[in-house]
Amino acid sequence: MQQVTRRFTLLLAGLVFLVPLAAAAKPFSIAEAMKDRVLGNPKAPVTMIEYASLSCPHCADFANETLPKIEKNFIDTGKVKLIYRDYPFDGPAFAAAMVTRCAPPKRYFEFIKVLFANQDIWARTADPRAGLARIAKLGGMTNAEYNACVDNKSLYEALRQRAISAQREYGVHSTPTFLIGGKTIVGAQPYEVFAKALTDAAKKK
């Protein structure tokens, strides 16, 4: 019980900054929603692409344990930029991905991090959609906005097509999958594996 309470507190802390921006969001556009979201300096010399499913426990392990180290040593220092792309495996993951795409772009990664950090609160429940709705509400979405988002067939199809493209172009079949400097890394590998791949990619620049 104590662990659940702590996670919920982190959930509140992570999403409280979303509320002002959610209220000022522009009219929704599929094209805008599906643009690549970049964590770090867009001009960073090394690009790291992640394909992940928000209901995937291995993806959550990477986001919660390994990504903070990569951010500190590579992304925050301007050496690497991370492009996150959705590869949802199930209904809850699709709904969650749709919610993040409906969120203000500047807060996209905050939403991603909160969803991974609290995966058991929404994805592992009997009613994932209801759990996700509570998180979306904390992020500033009204019930009407949430329902319109997760029921948006065009957004769903855009996400599905992106996953198909990942299969065809990069051979992505599981999550998480990472593309770094022409190298593919599959699974939530230890930090050292990513550090070497990122360092090697930087040397090629």
Query: Into which CATH architecture does domain 2-203 fall?
Result: 3-Layer(aba) Sandwich (3.40)
Q: What is the reported pTM?
A: 0.86
CA–centroid distance for 174 within its chain: 15
Answer for the pair 18, 104: CB distance below 8 angstroms, yes or no. yes
Q: What are phi and psi of 39, to 5 degrees?
A: -100, 120
Residue 157 in tokens: 């199809």
Of 48, 53, 103, 105, give the one whose Cα is nearest residue 71. Answer: 48
Residue 152 in tokens: 């948006």
Which H or E run includes 38?
A: strand 37-39
Q: What is the pLDDT along the chain (205 residues), one digit of tens a residue?
A: 434 434 443 454 455 444 444 444 456 789 999 999 999 999 999 999 999 999 999 999 999 999 999 999 999 999 999 999 999 999 999 999 999 999 889 889 999 999 999 999 899 888 999 999 999 988 888 999 999 999 999 999 999 999 999 999 999 999 999 999 999 999 999 999 999 999 999 998 7
